Chains A and B, each alone.
Chain A
């Protein structure tokens, strides 16, 4: 321990000794681990967690890299003392002294010195050196121009920048800058934003991106790695149905089944016959159902998730096969089977208009998102577009062999999706007048559009549900199986957080739920005593699902351990229940 001054503070002397001891064995930063030398064997303490080259059970994390990105993260967070202490204690410097010098010179604007340091930093690639030099000299150039030292800037351009012989078009732009400095705004060029000096820290950041990461650790590397892990966990989480705020670093994220609705919370008994269709409004505050009893019902969802009957809509002379909510949820369309389409006001329950076509029966209905027009399919295989007042605007006929029974309009109003053949769907782009087709090799019974207009869920005769991507060229993405369908039209829907789940009715009286990405069946929910015809997942509440059944009831499903206080039973057809039936 020679060479230590006596007037140095005692702590420093002690530190020196421990560093000295470990400096010999902590060679991973500075030299290859040497085997066999007696001196090393004597000086090296027994291997412990503190001295291995790699850490972690899989042995893929290199100690030096790990410590360096931690130190970088500490500095980014503002904990400079901790960062410095870590560097000292571990003996692993974040950056070499050359890099530190370089960084300081850049921030201080000592361009010529920084260029000299650049050549000593340890870069091997000539082109990187040139690109970095170019960046630095460009900054020098602009700062000179800003200081109005035009001739100096010109000199830099001529003697330092141009000889690099790279980026000739940029050199051209720089020349233009000299002649017409941006602040004079003489040249009317739209690219003003790339002809100013940037801030020095910004320059440093760009240099960091240019230099290899071993020399200069990239910004926020640790944060990036952690986020990557979290995203992967979330994607792997099959039951993920709650917001990302619940993700924690302490444990691997994995939602339990308890996030998926699986318990009947309510049974709604407003209809007197099979319930064929139901759908939540866009804002999740209402539920509309339609039935073989020739009526439709608008239900209201209160803040606690309780559902009560709001209006019973009577007027159709035939069973009501489907409903459609306007984009603002103020109006509802209902369609009587091969009869007419009616438009209702949601708050009053009044029928506002009846749409009919002489000699024809209408079979489906849909809103245009602008709410100025409605679409309807007729049993002569045409699609009509009406103004709200009842005036028919357009009519499309095409090669269709089946009565059109399902109709969907994308939320941008651009495409109409209908059945066109027994086993094909037509996607009609109204503006471009382009028709695309989805061809299946089985009869299609129903379909449903995702909220982002990019995917279509198609129910088939053979008890499969197919997921199609309809952006650009249509392609089949996934298949879901497990439910039962043999005689009736069964409908499915997207649902849950970010529509990550698929739900469907089934003829075995259960509600089926799959994880959309993995196609795994998550659950089959028993409870109904008749075929479940249709399901709808509340868009505003990923924990609420509704199902419509031939047993004349509608069930509201929710989370298992939800314990909500309810008001007393009302006599308007709503039956509350806790737990299973």
Chain B
């Protein structure tokens, strides 16, 4: 499609805005060293506080991604005491990561005990019951990778839980849950899709971010 390229020229962009966008992305993902060099390169004023928790957050997320959920939980409790209490879903997801670890290392007895003590209390609430059953089903298979629930063992799942944990920690520290860049991209895509729909499907091909970036 596209907007006439000349129209872009009429829009002025503030360098500071761009710097902030990039910085927020780096902070969100805990790229500490990059943050340091970016700040010094651009000569930005270092925003207060943003570096403090980053180190801790980075470690927590790292443990979560590895599958060492217990450590992640421990550090999270240190960082933000009531965070997990307020985010029961997240707490359950983290505990389940540990359970999955135990199952994958074929420690059945431990896994069973852990499930009985830590996970089943969640089962009193209806919405956790199905999730709980999904995880328990893993116990039935000698090769959980080949079971119907194999997706629970995947990196994608751990990434998903880590992302949620990240957002929860940020929210707890009253920072934005989403990096500005993420939001901008989402905004662009959503708006373009709306426009395409309004103008009618036949008029233009649906918006593709990838193509747009290339052009």
Which A residues are closer than 8 A to B by beta carbons? 150-151, 154, 157-159, 161-163, 168, 171-176, 178-180, 186-189
**A175 and B109 in contact (CB under 8 A), knowing A186-B123, A187-B120, A187-B129?**
no
Is B55 an interface residue, CB under 8 A from the partner?
no
Question: What does the 1/0 interface line of B129-154 toward A look like (CB < 8 Å)?
Answer: 10011101111111000011000000
Q: Are B140 and A157 interface neighbours, CB within 8 A?
A: yes
Q: Which residues of A contact B129 (CB under 8 A)?
A: 187-189
Count of A-B contacts judged by CB separation below 8 Å: 67
B123 near A178: Cβ-Cβ < 8 Å: no
Q: 26 pairs across A/B with beta carbons < 8 Å?
A: A150-B112, A151-B108, A158-B108, A158-B139, A158-B140, A162-B147, A168-B148, A171-B137, A171-B140, A172-B134, A172-B136, A175-B136, A175-B137, A175-B139, A175-B140, A176-B137, A178-B112, A179-B119, A179-B136, A179-B139, A180-B120, A180-B123, A186-B123, A187-B120, A187-B123, A188-B126
CB pair A161 B140 closer than 8 Å: yes
A168 to B134, CA, bound (A): 11
Bound-state Cα–Cα, A163 to B146, Å: 11
CB–CB B140/A179 < 8 A? no
* In contact, A158 and B141 (Cβ under 8 angstroms): yes
- Distance to closest chain A CB from B176 (angstroms): 38
Q: Could you tell me the distance in whole angstroms from the C-beta of B4 to the nearest C-beta in chain A?
A: 57
Report chain B residues within 8 Å CB of A151: 108-109, 112
Contact B133–A172 (Cβ < 8 Å): yes
The answer to whether B139 touches A178, judged by C-beta atoms less than 8 angstroms apart, is: yes
Contact for A175 among B116, B120, B126, B133, CB less than 8 A: B133
- Please give 9 more A-B residue pairs, beta carbons under 8 A apart, in addition to A157-B140, A163-B142: A150-B112, A151-B112, A158-B142, A175-B137, A176-B136, A178-B112, A179-B112, A179-B136, A186-B123
The answer to whether B75 has its CB under 8 Å from any CB of chain A is: no
**Total B residues in contact with A, Cβ cutoff 8 Å:** 24
What chain B residues lie within 8 Å of A174 (beta carbons)? Answer: 140
Note all chain A residues with C-beta closer than 8 A to B115: 179
Give a binary string over B93-127; 1 marks a CB under 8 Å from any A CB, 0 the rest.
00000000000000011001001100111011010
Q: Are A187 and B132 in contact (CB under 8 A)?
A: yes
* Chain B min CB distance to A337 (Å): 64
Give every chain B residue within 8 A of A178 (Cβ-Cβ). Answer: 112, 136, 139
Q: Shortest Cβ distance from A235 into chain B, in angstroms?
A: 49
Bound complex: CA A179 to CA B109 (Å):
11
The answer for the CA separation of A150 and B108 in the assembled complex, in Å, is 11
Cross-interface CB contact of B141 among A162, A176, A186, A189, cutoff 8 Å:
A162
Measured in the bound complex, the distance between the Cα atoms of B112 and A174 in whole Å is 13
Output the least CB separation between B48 and chain A (Å): 48
Q: In the complex, which residues of chain A have a beta carbon less than 8 angstroms from the beta carbon of B138?
A: 175
Chain A residues lying within 8 Å of B124, measured Cβ to Cβ, are: 186, 188
A337 to B134, CA, bound (A): 73
Decide: A162 and B123 in contact? CB cutoff 8 A: no
Q: Which of A168, A173, A179, A188 has the most B CB atoms < 10 Å from its CB?
A: A179
Chain B: minimal CB distance from A178 (Å): 7
**B112, B136, B141, B147: which has the most chain A beta carbons within 10 Å?**
B136
